[in-house]
Chain A
Amino acid sequence: MSFEATLRSEKIRHLAVAAVARVERDASLREAVGILRNNRLGCVLVCEGEQLVGILTERDLVKKVFVSKVDWNAIVEKFMTPKPMTLSLDDSLADTMQMMDAGGFRNVPVLDDRGRLAGVVSVRHIIDYLAEHFPAEVLNLPPRLHQTMEAPDGA
């Protein structure tokens, strides 16, 4: 099977989808940013009970938080991206890549069969998957295809 066909058949459920960090919509900005900072995460999901209502990403922080003086006690809802697009566990990697590319998303929440949050898939997972599963010959190539030795090797 070609690599392209693999990407079409492989599902999100085959990736190790990252655990989700979530906060309630009335959590403070301070609390949400603290979670991003301390857990090396690129996003935190904002929920109302079990319902996903938004996502707060590093990008949101650059655009809305770091550019001006903000009230750190304000609720996270004011800074999040509301109603993010989601994927399901049975969407293919090819679909995922095309959605991320078209929307400019780096992190996409994933819902399970019953519509509950299952995790977050990030562009990092996709790149790691590609690097790991791409035919082994990739890893053995010199970085530049026509690279030659400048001087004869060896004694």
Chain B
Amino acid sequence: MVICPSCSTDNIPGSETCEECGQDLSGPDIRSDCAGFDRQLLADTLQVLPLDHLAALGVEASVADAVRSMKDLGIGCILVFDSHRLAGIFTERDLVKKIKPELEDLEQLKLRDVMTPDPAILHEEDTIAYALNRMSVGGFRHVPVLRANNSVGLISIRDVLHYIATQIS
């Protein structure tokens, strides 16, 4: 029995290529064929991503403040702090889903009342593969990242896409 290192199919002993996926089974170093990108994704941590492309506001800031920051910085998510603690995030999705600008005064509406409280977070030493999986399962487009020095960064689905698109080009 020969297990294909790429797709885990059982092959007949002596097979030169995997009957399922065509992976070369003949060489002494059979993993090398699928090593590059796969291995990179498993080895790289969030530290290789630009974690500092973010905006932070206090819980008392208004939705109008948040919209201005999003527009000026070209980002889709605001980290919301209560004194020095991360209390929530406020995203484009929250904006479109929860806010009716035709009915509400965005200058008066506070982030405290419309943010997504206690968001899922990642750690800067988590792998990109793990982050990818969390974003997929949780349906998250942005996830705050706790760093070793206790500051908070942010990754977006776009950062992950950019990382992978760069790896395969």
Contacts and interface: CB of A to CB of B under 8 A. Distances in A.
Interface in A25-52: 30, 33, 36-37, 40
A14 interface: no
Interface string A12-29: 000000000000000000
Contact of A2 (B6, B68, B123): B6
A37 B133 CA distance: 26
B126 A143 contact: yes
Contacts of A134: 38, 41, 129, 132-133
A58 B158 contact: no
Interface string B21-45: 1110000000001101110011101
B164 interface: yes
B93 interface: yes
Main secondary structure of the interface of A (DSSP, over half): helix
Interface residues on B, range: 35 or more
Contact of B96 (A7, A33, A94, A101): A33
A139 interface: yes
Given A4-B37, A138-B42, A139-B133, A123 B158 contact: yes
Interface string B99-141: 1011000100000000000000011011101101101110101
B43 to A, nearest CB: 7
Nearest to B21: A1
A84 B99 CA distance: 27
A123 to B, nearest CB: 5
Interface residues on A, range: 35 or more
A127 B161 contact: yes
Contacts of A137: 42
A126 B41 CA distance: 15
A137 B127 CA distance: 13
B1 interface: no
B89 interface: no
24 contacts: A1-B6, A2-B36, A3-B34, A4-B167, A7-B168, A8-B168, A30-B102, A33-B96, A37-B97, A58-B93, A58-B95, A62-B70, A62-B95, A66-B95, A97-B168, A127-B161, A130-B132, A131-B135, A131-B137, A138-B42, A141-B127, A141-B129, A141-B130, A144-B127
Interface of A: 1-4, 7-8, 30, 33, 36-37, 40, 58-59, 61-63, 65-67, 70, 72, 94, 97-98, 100-102, 104, 106, 123-124, 126-128, 130-132, 134-139, 141, 143-145
Interface of B: 6-8, 21-23, 33-34, 36-38, 41-43, 45, 67-68, 70-71, 76, 92-93, 95-97, 99, 101-102, 106, 122-123, 125-127, 129-130, 132-133, 135-137, 139, 141, 157-158, 160-162, 164-169
Given A97-B168, A144-B125, 15 more contacts: A1-B22, A1-B23, A1-B34, A2-B37, A8-B168, A59-B92, A62-B70, A62-B95, A72-B102, A123-B157, A127-B135, A131-B137, A141-B130, A143-B123, A143-B130
